[in-house]
């Protein structure tokens, strides 16, 4: 899957994604623990399998 489509797929789930020059994506994920929300930055390979894993598919 082209990286632009992969970014659109991730962003359609409420996250933001940025392409890195090394074949990875940095994805921001909102996390809520005990009622406290925070944003985590996660670096994943630029693959559909990695995106699906991050999104819980």
What average pLDDT does the structure give for the chain? 94
DSSP 8-state assignment for residue 48: H
Angle between helix 48-55 and 3-11 (nearest 10): 10
According to the model, what pLDDT value does residue 54 have? Answer: 93
pLDDT tens digits along 17-43: 999 999 999 999 988 899 999 999 999
């Amino acid at each position: 899957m082209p990286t632009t489509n992969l970014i659109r797929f991730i962003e359609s789930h409420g996250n933001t994604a940025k392409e890195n020059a090394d074949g990875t994506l940095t994805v921001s994920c909102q996390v809520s623990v005990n009622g406290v929300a925070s944003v985590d930055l996660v670096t994943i390979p630029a693959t559909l399998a990695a995106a699906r894993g991050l999104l819980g598919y």
